[in-house]
Amino acid sequence: MLKFKSFLKKLPKIPSYLIGLLSIKLHDFLWSTKNNATGAFDLNKFEIFLKDIGVKDGSTLFVHSSWAELKTSKFSCSELINFLVRYLGNKGTLAMPAYPMDQTGDKIFNVKKTPSAAGLLTEVFRRYPKVKRSINLNHSVCALGLNADYLVGEHNLSETAWDTYSPYSKLGKIEDTWILGLGVGHRLKIATPLHCVDSVLWKEVPYFNKLFKQKICYKYIDENQNKGSHCYWSRKGQIYTPKLAKYFSKDELIELEIEGVQIYAIKAATLINKATSLALSGKTMYIWPLPFPWLFTKKKL
């Protein structure tokens, strides 16, 4: 074993970005449809889907979206958000990612003004009345509804963007919480709460510890115009999510197309808890750094 590890260290290093590019191309080739949207996807069809899978009044819904795939549908960003807010009701919560484009730490993160780079729908939602936003340069979240304050309130305390203080981890602790993907692909191609696995295990599992080696500090302005600062550990590594998606049943990971738009849904607790359990047995979405089995032995570092 020691000789094999020594041999690996002598191999030429492959650029990480190249591994990432290849994984994206492979995912698109095997699992994505191209230009298949008919333009007939409307809110009535979407409502039927939500009811069929069990999303209801009072549910919490975290939405990943690609407006490039949704733009031919029969609704605007504002109409979709208005529909979801009404559908979830007074006891429900709607949340979306709202991370900024510039994550170098050179600019001040203004929780009320810094635009979201997570897609057009998320930027429209960020500006929606009474929406709350978490303070986190790496992976900020916007939320509206009963659980909004709970979700976003402690993100500036996170050591990583997805640890127990984060909205992503808290999604898994709220009953009847769903992760929903609209036009972002299948096989968990975009499912940010999966990074809760990295953040839960990075201090105990050697492989995940390898992913967090750079600390970034930045300044922020909160919703009350108070100034502060926050530091977090930035994640490195390349993923290929079909490696992990295959372990979820069709009842757990619901995937379909509505008028050519790829949609998926999964309970947040199911996604996070099962992915964490799989990681402890060496099953991960990561392909780079190479996920050798001996790196997944849980121990205190």
Could you report the per-residue pLDDT of 1-42, keeping only the tens digit for each? 444 445 445 445 667 778 888 888 889 888 877 667 788 999
Of 67, 72, 74, 66, nearest in space to 47 by CA: 74
Residue 159 lies in a domain: yes
Of 238, 239, 241, nearest in space to 187 by CA: 241
In angstroms, rounded to a whole number, what is the distance separating the alpha carbons of residues 192 and 167?
A: 11
Residue range(s) defining the domain that contains residue 263: 38-296
Distances (CA, A) of 263 to 117, 166, 189: 21, 25, 11
In angstroms, rounded to a whole number, what is the distance separating the alpha carbons of residues 58 and 139?
A: 25
Q: Are 98 and 122 in contact (CB under 8 A)?
A: yes
Specify the DSSP element, H or E, that contains 133: strand 132-133
Residue 25 lies in a domain: no
Helix segments in the chain, DSSP class H: 2-10, 16-31, 43-53, 67-70, 77-88, 120-126, 148-152, 167-171, 195-201, 206-209, 242-245, 268-279
Residue 129 lies in a domain: yes
In angstroms, rounded to a whole number, what is the distance separating the alpha carbons of residues 247 and 127?
A: 37
DSSP label at residue 13: P
Q: What is the pLDDT of residue 14?
A: 65
Residues of the chain scoring pLDDT < 50: 1-5, 7-8, 10-11, 301
Question: Which string of b and e fits 91-105 if b means at least 16 CB within 10 Å?
Answer: ebbbbbbbbbeebeb
Of 88, 86, 44, nearest in space to 180 by CA: 88
Residue 260 lies in a domain: yes
In angstroms, rounded to a whole number, what is the distance separating the alpha carbons of residues 58 and 177?
A: 9
Of 131, 148, 130, nearest in space to 60 by CA: 148
Bridge partners, residue 228, by sequence: 220
Q: Are 235 and 212 in contact (CB under 8 A)?
A: yes
Q: What is the pLDDT of residue 85?
A: 98
Residue 8 lies in a domain: no
Q: What is the pLDDT of residue 12?
A: 53
Residue 51 lies in a domain: yes
Residue labelled with tokens 């940010």: 192
Q: Rounded to a whole number, what is the distance in angstroms from the first to the last CA of the chain?
A: 21
Could you give the number of structural domains in the chain?
A: 1
Q: What is the pLDDT of residue 197?
A: 98
Residue labelled with tokens 């290929």: 240
Lookup: tokens for 195 = 């990074």
Residue 10 lies in a domain: no
Cβ neighbours of 44 (radius 10 Å): 10
Q: What is the pLDDT of residue 34?
A: 67
Q: What is the pLDDT of residue 106?
A: 85
Q: What is the pLDDT of residue 32?
A: 78
Residue 16 lies in a domain: no
pTM of the model: 0.93
In angstroms, rounded to a whole number, what is the distance separating the alpha carbons of residues 70 and 257?
A: 12
